[in-house]
Chains A and B, each alone.
Chain A
Amino acid sequence: MSKRSFDIQAQPGFGFIALVTFFALYLPIAALVAYSFNAADSLSRWDGFSLRWFISAWHNSAVQDASVRSLVLAVSAAALSTIVATMAALATTRTRPYPGLTFKYAFINQPLMVPEIVTGVALLIVFSRIKVWTGYSGLGYLIAAHTAFCIPFAYLPIRARLENMDLTLERAAADLYATPWKAFRFVTLPLLRPAIIAGFMLAFVISLDDVVITEFVKSGGQDTLPTYMLGQLRRETSPEINAIATVFLALSVVLVTIFYFVNRRKP
């Protein structure tokens, strides 16, 4: 827009506050990344640039375990929640209202509405009793919990896509004697693929980021990367935590960027 004497859209000071806000949004992240390259043994002084904390984090077996566990958990929870969310989305879209439909929406979105700490302690109560009864204390509890709260995140993009999809292609397939399964397999599913990928990635990021629920559900020795970092805070924070956080941060940014571009490809 060319410069005018009086821009009706401009409000005095708004641009300035906006730029301050954006600066403030990125300043702490920049500080975190900068401090992770600190050569000093403690965070209290700057001893010059070094990669030593990245190297030490890489060789730290607790960090390795936690990273592997985080990945296994996030992949399992994202896969499971995407599958069941896709089924649920197919069941709740492109239909006249039927008894129970509103109930299903409320049910599926419920994990979004309860504060994490509340879900966390409720799961602690139930799972600790099941652990006593069955003696099983494996990763299953974490996978179940993560799958549950990832479902709405996988569900939302898939539902949105289904609602915008028109039914003519499926009807055409049916007219050409495709069975319902074939119509789904060769028509609906390919059209739905971008939304399924987006749903999976959202669920993956959400699971990877969770700290509160994991903290309450995990059994002894089942730290994920976030709960490991939270646990380290009880001691003096070492620059190693900053290095781990920086790598984690980079990973999130990459994932969000990919998600953004996958999601932007409109039909």
Chain B
Amino acid sequence: MASAEEIARAADARDIRDRWLLSAPALVIILLAAIGPLFVMLAYSFMLKGDYGDVQFGIFSLDGWTSVLFQRDIFDDTLGLADAHLTIFWRSISLSFYTTVLTLLFGFPTAYFIATRPPKTREVWVFLVTIPFWTNLLIRTFAMQQVIRNEGLVNTALMALGIIKQPLQIMNTDTAILLGMIYIYLPLMVLPLYASMEKLDFRLVEAGYDLYAGRWQVLRRIIFPLIKPGVIAGSILVFIPSLGAYVIPRVLGGGKNMMLGNLIELQFSAGRNWPLGAAISITLMAVVMIALLFYVRNASRSEGVHV
């Protein structure tokens, strides 16, 4: 005769088994079409490149990884730094950094403005931020192109006003990519900032003023520390996709101003160096994971921030 405890344990085991069965289809699809391929790619980064793309299956090589940073001189076979790669790494990191700082600079006042509206109007402003957020990224990149191209809105307006004679060449420069990224990722900054500002207790601000703090002091010593989790969340949400941007540099940067995403693509197409492409992809992913860990640690310390 089974004891009550045994019956309960058996029921628990059955429950857990059922729960695994229920979640199995989702897990299998993600394993086959998302996570699994990443491991295959990791293996590919340690193989010898094939002559027409792909790899020479099963032949171990570190060439993919060394060529992330170094290139072999074709004459004397010595290793030198791969300047082209370093330029692209640097462009990716610095443009992503500037994007984060500038979206914060514009996003902070915007989120503050929304959070201080009456509740009914607040909803409308948030909705207005959400619409571009859910609009196709490619289309928004196109839209930015309409503003900054040589015959675009900005140049037409400036020339009509007689401020400039020749159109400003913005397209196909780093500035174009930067403008595009700020435009595309701004909602990702405003939304988490707003989420943490909405909960801000304005009595603390009032107390600050009562104690003769100036506006700047209130902003820096009261408001900013209280919404820091939102600032961190927003910065990470902007920085990560900026670093992996592919469409924006391709459309606005022309062929030459590549970022990491375009460098990866190049290795899988014209470059025909899959191990190198795989190694750069894994490097990019590692950076993203480190940034996410940093975020998770911060978020868990200051509870209640959901993005």
Residues of A participating in the B interface, judged by any CB pair closer than 8 Å: 1, 8-15, 17-22, 24-29, 31-32, 35, 43-45, 80-81, 83-85, 87-88, 90-92, 95, 98-100, 104, 107-108, 110-111, 113-119, 121-126, 128, 144-145, 147-149, 151, 155, 205, 208-209, 211-212, 216, 226, 229-230, 233, 237, 241-242, 245, 248-249, 252-253, 255-256, 259-260
Could you tell me the distance between the alpha carbons of A46 and B34 in the complex, rounded to whole angstroms?
46
Residues of B within 8 Å of A99, CB to CB, are 16
In the complex, are the beta carbons of A12 and B215 less than 8 A apart?
yes
B40 within 8 A of A: yes
Minimum CB distance partner of A180 in chain B: B18
What's the interface size class on B, roughly?
35 or more
Instruction: Output the residue of A29, A230, A233 with the most chain B CB within 10 A.
Output: A29
In the complex, are the beta carbons of A122 and B144 less than 8 A apart?
no
**How far, in Å, is A257 (CB) from chain B's closest CB?**
8
Minimum CB distance partner of B202 in chain A: A9
In the complex, are the beta carbons of A98 and B16 less than 8 A apart?
yes
**How far, in Å, is B190 (CB) from chain A's closest CB?**
8
A98-B16, A111-B34, A211-B137 are contacts. A117–B131 as well, Cβ < 8 Å? no
**How far, in Å, is B33 (CB) from chain A's closest CB?**
4
Instruction: Output the residue of A18, A99, A151 with the most chain B CB within 10 A.
Output: A18
In the complex, are the beta carbons of B38 and A114 less than 8 A apart?
yes
The secondary-structure label for the interface of chain B is helix
Residues of B within 8 Å of A20, CB to CB, are 106
In the complex, are the beta carbons of B127 and A28 less than 8 A apart?
no
**How far, in Å, is B92 (CB) from chain A's closest CB?**
11
In the complex, are the beta carbons of A11 and B130 less than 8 A apart?
no
Residues of A within 8 Å of B27, CB to CB, are 88, 104, 107-108
Instruction: Output the residue of A10, A99, A126 with the most chain B CB within 10 A.
Output: A126
A-B contact sample (6 more), CB < 8 A, given A22-B110, A114-B38, A256-B130: A9-B116, A21-B110, A24-B183, A32-B139, A110-B34, A116-B246
Q: Show 25 residue pairs from A and B whose CB-CB distance is below 8 angstroms, ordered by the A residue.
A: A11-B219, A17-B109, A19-B113, A21-B186, A24-B106, A28-B146, A29-B132, A31-B147, A81-B29, A87-B22, A95-B15, A98-B15, A104-B27, A113-B288, A114-B285, A115-B261, A121-B265, A125-B44, A155-B26, A209-B137, A211-B247, A230-B247, A249-B139, A253-B131, A260-B130
Candidates A11, A95, A113, A144; contact of B19 at CB < 8 Å: A95
In the complex, are the beta carbons of A31 and B37 less than 8 A apart?
no
